[in-house]
Amino acid sequence: MMKNKIQFQKGYSLIELMRDYGTEEQCRNTLFQLRWPQGYVCPQCGGKSHCTLKTRALYQCNHCHHQHSLISGTIFEATKLPLATWFLAIYLLTQAKTGLSALSLHRQLGVSYNAAWSLKHKIMQVMKERDDSKVLSGVIQLDDVYWGGERHGGKSGRGSPNKTPFVVAVSVNEDGHPIHMNMNVVKGFRSKEIERWAKQHLEPGCQVVSDGLACFSAVKKAGCQHTSIVTGGGPACVSLVEFTWVNTMIGHVKNSLRGAYPAINHRHLPRYLAEFCYRFNRRFELDRMLPRFCFIAVRTPPMPIRLLKLAEVYG
């Protein structure tokens, strides 16, 4: 029987994780190498020599005497959790095919729910910032989506205040196979908002294929080519080959979110979408996801819990 090469590729086992990152010293050495691959560099003055304090886990620059920790200025900053716990959480969230809730993370890591929630959202923040820094190119299938339902007795349809709009874009190769995906919450399906999104996430000159929603023509103001196909709605529109992969991804992400999370605050939806996209965009290299993630994590600014809870993020 033929096996799908992607589904049956060699992953990164829990045994391998414990072998490579099972101790605090191994995790610290890994972060040091990822943060300063060419050797220590002082974040204050750029000095390249340092000493380690005996009484505290701090580095001190020999030139300017600036003191800082290994994780200061990174997403790990101010954490009270062991780095080994972080690495295990990163492993669980990057290797899982479906989402993993903060409640499940709390049980598997043996930490408080609040710590697990903060940990998960900081990891998802790294995923979002990383994928937002890359643009889609080539042929792109684009569609509009809403997350959430109508409140009882409230306004129905697109105007429902309980629905959060977001766009799904999937780039495909010449054979029509999906390459990369982007999902971003937007303030609404208006031309100015789609133009803003396109300038941030699409490469000028790419070919965008969408349904007949009028606002999607705004991608042309971002230097993209645009083809509009009026689908007419109904079940038949889902089977159109021009939208095969974008419709598939919409179905997958909705099933994944509903299956893993009983409720999602609209403020945090962008991170949950980013988590799904991050794993999909790196599905060919499961064995390298953890070190690649940590390389970006030590270059991602700190995200205080205050901002994690309050910030509304638009793509």
**What's the rounded Cα separation, in Å, for the pair 178 and 170?**
7
The mean of the pLDDT values for the chain is: 90
Instruction: Supply the pTM of this predicted model.
Output: 0.90
pLDDT at 97 over 90: no
How far is Cα 131 from Cα 134, in angstroms, rounded to an integer? 5
User: Residue 223: what pLDDT?
Assistant: 97
- Identity of the residue numbered 179: I
Is the residue at 183 inside a domain?
A: yes
Q: Which two tokens stand for residue 101?
A: 């809730």
- Is residue 174 a part of any domain in this protein? yes
Q: Mean pLDDT throughout 183-212? A: 96
Work out how many domains the chain is built from and give that number: 1
Domain span including residue 191: 139-149+158-268
Whether the predicted pLDDT of 152 surpasses 50: no
What DSSP state is assigned to residue 238? G
β-strands 67-68, 59-61 pairing: antiparallel
**Amino acid 243: pLDDT:** 92
Residue type for position 50: H
3-class secondary-structure state, position 12: coil
Q: Is residue 85 part of a domain?
A: no
User: Does pLDDT of 159 surpass 60?
Assistant: no
- Asked if residue 204 belongs to a domain, the reply is yes
Cβ atoms 202, 272 nearer than 8 A: no
* CATH for 182: 3.30.420.10
Query: If you write DSSP's letter for every residue of 116-135 in order, what string do you get?
Result: HHHHHHHHHHHHHHHHHTS-
Q: For 260-271, what is the mean pLDDT?
A: 89
86: part of which helix (H) or strand (E)? helix 83-95
Q: How confident is the model at residue 242 (pLDDT cuts 50, 70, 90)?
A: confident
pLDDT average, residue stretch 230-258: 83
Question: Distance between CA atoms of 239 and 42, rounded to whole angstroms?
Answer: 56
Question: Is residue 58 domain-resident?
Answer: no
Give which of 223, 228, 216, 180 is closest to 200, Cα–Cα: 223
Residue written as token pair 């020999």: 62
Task: Compute the distance between CA of residue 293 and CA of residue 135 in angstroms, rounded to an integer.
Answer: 18
Whole-number pLDDT of residue 235: 63
pLDDT at residue number 149: 64
Of 29, 88, 16, 72, the residue nearest 293 (C-alpha):
88
Rounded Cα distance between 292 and 278, Å, is: 12
CA distance 8 to 4: 6
The reply to whether 193 falls in a domain is yes
Residue 45 lies in a domain: no
Residues 254, 147: Cα–Cα separation, whole Å: 8
Domain for residue 208, yes or no? yes
Alpha-carbon torsion angle 256, 258, 259, 264, nearest 10: 100
Q: Which of 310, 252, 304 is nearest to 122 (CA)?
A: 304
